[in-house]
C-alpha cells in the first residue's frame, strides 16, 4: 500500500471515493503506458476525491499473467518513486494504493488464488472476476462455486457489459443470492460506452444489482478517475445521497476491511421525474 495527497469528496463514513477497479500500474497491461501516464492518472484521482485505489491489472492465462509477485513489485517501485516527493509533506492525507487483479474466468483460477499466485483485492477474500462480453461460459456456475468453496468472495466486474446477464434478471438474482457481488463502471453510468450500456448500468442500479461503482481507469484520457465524480454527481440528481455514497465510498471501505457490502436499493429523490427508462 502506498499513499499520496488527495482531497475529500463524499460525506458518508470514511469520506473519500474507493476505486476497487483500475489499471493504473504502468507498463504491465493495457492500462497506464508508463510512469508519466501513471502520474497523470494519479493527479486526476486526487483531484476527483479518490482516497483509495485498488490496482487491478488483468490476469488472463497465457496473455496478461500479472501474478501477485509482479503486482507487488510494481507497487514497491511506486512506493520508492513517491518517497522523495512526499518527504516534505509529513501531514498529508494520502491516496492509498493496494494490490489486486481483474481475473478472467478460468477453471484454474481458484487454486491460483488459494496458493497466492493471483492477487485478491487488497489482500482480502474478495476477488474481482471478468466474464466474456458475448456469451456466458458453460462452466461459469462451477467457477463461482469453486471460488467460494476455496474461501473467496467473487466481485463481478462491469456486469452492464454482459447483455446475456442484464436481460436475465432471474439469473442475476441467482448469482446475488449465491454471494456474487456486482461492480458497475462509472464511465458506463455517464454514457461513455454508449446508450445501451448506460441503460443497462442504470437498470442494474435501479433494481438493486450494484454493490460498488468503480472507474476501470485505463489512462488519463476518456477512461479516467474523473468519471467517478461525474457518475456520483449524476446519480445524486436521481437518488438519495446516502444511498449513492455507499456505492462509491462505504462499501469500498467495507471491502478493504474484508467485510461484505451493504445491499442497496437506492431511493429516488422526492418529486424527481426522469426518462421513461427508470419507470420500467
Q: Inform me whether the pLDDT recorded for 148 exceeds 80.
A: yes
Which pLDDT band holds residue 1 (cuts at 50, 70, 90)? low
Tell me yes or no: is domain 17-101+185-279 CATH 3.40.30.10. Answer: no
Count of positions (residues) in the chain: 280
CA distance 128 to 280: 30
Question: Of 198, 199, 210, nearest to 264 (Cα)?
Answer: 210
CA distance 94 to 46: 9
Q: Looking at per-residue confidence, does 30 or 221 come out higher? A: 30
What digits encode the pLDDT tens for the residues 159-190? 999 999 999 999 999 999 999 999 999 999 99
Other C-beta atoms closer than 10 Å to the C-beta of 177 total 8
Question: Of 167, 151, 185, 161, nearest to 56 (Cα)?
Answer: 185
The three cell numbers of residue 144 are 463461482
What digits encode the pLDDT tens for the residues 83-141? 655 554 332 236 899 999 999 999 999 999 999 999 999 999 999 999 999 999 999 99
3-state helix, strand, coil in the chain (%, to 5): 40, 15, 40
Q: Inform me whether the pLDDT recorded for 73 exceeds 50.
A: yes
What digits encode the pLDDT tens for the residues 19-29? 999 999 999 99
In this prediction, residue 7 carries a pLDDT of 41
Phi, psi of 58, rounded to the nearest 5 degrees: -65, 140
Which pLDDT band holds residue 58 (cuts at 50, 70, 90)? very high
122 neighbors 100 (Cβ within 8 angstroms): yes
Amino acid at each position: 500500500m502506498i499513499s499520496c495527497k488527495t482531497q475529500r469528496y463524499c460525506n458518508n463514513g470514511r469520506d473519500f471515493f474507493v476505486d476497487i477497479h483500475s489499471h493504473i500500474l504502468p507498463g504491465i497491461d493495457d492500462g497506464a503506458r508508463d510512469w508519466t501516464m501513471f502520474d497523470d492518472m494519479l493527479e486526476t484521482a486526487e483531484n476527483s476525491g479518490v482516497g483509495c485505489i485498488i490496482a487491478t491489472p488483468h490476469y488472463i492465462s497465457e496473455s496478461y499473467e500479472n501474478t501477485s509477485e509482479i503486482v507487488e513489485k510494481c507497487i514497491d517501485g511506486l512506493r520508492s518513486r513517491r518517497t522523495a516527493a512526499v518527504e516534505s509533506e509529513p501531514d498529508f492525507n494520502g491516496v492509498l494504493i493496494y494490490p489486486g487483479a481483474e481475473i478472467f474466468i478460468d477453471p484454474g483460477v481458484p487454486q491460483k488464488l488459494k496458493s497466492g499466485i493471483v492477487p485478491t483485492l487488497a489482500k482480502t477474500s474478495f476477488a474481482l472476476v471478468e466474464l466474456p462480453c458475448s456469451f456466458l461460459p458453460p462452466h461459469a456456475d462451477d467457477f463461482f462455486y469453486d471460488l467460494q468453496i476455496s474461501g473467496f468472495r467473487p466481485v463481478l466486474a462491469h456486469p452492464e457489459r454482459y447483455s446475456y446477464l442484464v436481460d436475465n434478471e432471474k439469473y442475476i438474482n441467482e448469482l446475488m443470492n449465491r454471494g456474487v457481488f456486482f461492480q458497475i463502471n462509472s464511465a458506463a453510468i455517464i454514457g461513455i460506452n454508449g446508450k445501451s450500456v448506460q441503460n443497462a448500468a442504470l437498470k442494474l442500479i435501479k433494481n438493486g444489482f450494484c454493490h460498488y461503482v468503480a472507474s476501470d481507469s485505463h489512462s488519463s484520457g476518456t477512461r479516467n478517475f474523473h468519471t467517478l465524480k461525474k457518475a456520483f454527481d449524476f446519480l445524486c440528481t436521481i437518488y438519495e445521497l446516502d444511498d449513492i455514497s455507499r456505492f462509491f465510498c462505504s462499501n469500498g471501505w467495507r471491502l478493504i476491511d474484508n467485510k461484505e457490502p451493504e445491499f442497496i436499493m437506492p431511493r429516488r429523490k422526492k418529486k424527481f421525474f426522469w426518462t421513461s427508462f427508470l419507470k420500467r
